[in-house]
Amino acid sequence: MKTSRFEKTTPVSPSKFELISKYRSVEDQEIYFEKLIEAFRTLSQEAPDVFDNIAPEMLQRGIWSWRGADPLLSKRFNRWISEDYRWTPFLEILPPKDETLRSGDIPKLLPNTLDSKYSDFIDDLSMRFHGDPHRWDASTRDQFIILGLLALAGGSGVRQGKLIHSLGLNYDVDGIRGSNIVRAAKIALSRLANPYDIELFAPATGHGKERYHSFSSPELAEIIKRYVVHHDASILLPIHATLPN
């Protein structure tokens, strides 16, 4: 069995700012946050063009890291940042906290406890999904989201309409394009599994938005679920991913 790269790529080194914040007292943290807010206000006044360019992206990335990249929340945020900020408090666009995906509820995957073919497949997945998820190309991002949604569904499968919606597309407008993206992602992932004699997906059933996609077995879905939930890119998975279809 190859030495697993999964264990090497999972840990993320904290930034120097995170290390500094870790040792602040609660009282000092509150003062620090107040000063940061004051600093941003000063920047907005002294360099409004600079602030306008960086603030929306910083806020959006913060939401992704905190609550996950839910397409519905993304739409609410885009409306808020463009117009709704005039009359809607930012807090009101956020979903309830208990809707977030809690990785702590799912055990981490230990590749060295798996059969060699599954461990090697996870190894290759880690090579496919490496680096900063926010800098991935569209096809890599789509593959991870589809892999994650189907894994989180276990053996029950996911409707095609939900997959397309979770990719940030509107089925009524982008139905054909979305179907092609789902098919292409599944083909690419299946090719990654083929060398290990792993049948990744079961045959899809149904038509249109009611077409169901699923893993070939609940056991395989469980392995992949434990991989994706503890991956840095789990922030790309919609917050409703674990709720019933």
pLDDT < 70 positions in the chain: 1-24, 67-72, 95-105, 173, 238-245
pTM of whole model > 0.85?
A: no
**CA 23 from chain center: how many Å?**
29
**pLDDT for residue 51:** 92
Domain boundary among 42, 62, 95: 95
How many CA atoms lie less than 13 Å away from 116 in the CB half-sphere? 4
Same domain, 82 and 187: no
Same domain, 69 and 111: no
Domain boundary among 95, 113, 142: 95
**How many domains, in total, are found in the chain?**
2
Q: Confirm if 129 and 6 have CB atoms less than 8 A apart.
A: no
**pLDDT for residue 205:** 92
Is 9 part of a structural domain of the chain? no
Q: Confirm if 87 and 119 have CB atoms less than 8 A apart.
A: no
Rg (the chain; Cα; Å): 20
Q: Write the pLDDT tens digit of every residue in 109-122.
A: 887 788 889 999 99
Same domain, 105 and 226: yes
Same domain, 69 and 138: no
Is 1 part of a structural domain of the chain? no
Same domain, 133 and 225: yes
**pLDDT for residue 192:** 95
Q: Write the pLDDT tens digit of every residue in 147-202.
A: 999 999 887 889 998 898 888 887 776 778 889 999 999 999 999 999 999 999 99
**pLDDT for residue 68:** 61
Domain boundary among 71, 95, 119: 95
User: Any idea what the Cα angle at residue 223 is, between residues 221 and 236, rounded to 5°?
Assistant: 75
Same domain, 147 and 213: yes
Same domain, 122 and 228: yes
**pLDDT for residue 179:** 92
Is 6 part of a structural domain of the chain? no
State whether residue 215 is helix, strand or coil. Answer: strand
Same domain, 177 and 84: no
**pLDDT for residue 98:** 46
**pLDDT for residue 191:** 96
Is 62 part of a structural domain of the chain? yes
Structural domain boundaries, residue 172: 101-236
**pLDDT for residue 165:** 83
Is 151 part of a structural domain of the chain? yes
**pLDDT for residue 24:** 63
Cα dihedral 2/149/101/96 (nearest 10): 170
Q: Confirm if 217 and 86 have CB atoms less than 8 A apart.
A: no
Q: Confirm if 6 and 122 have CB atoms less than 8 A apart.
A: yes
Q: Please provide the average confidence, as pLDDT, over all residues in the chain.
A: 81
Is 166 part of a structural domain of the chain? yes
Same domain, 142 and 199: yes
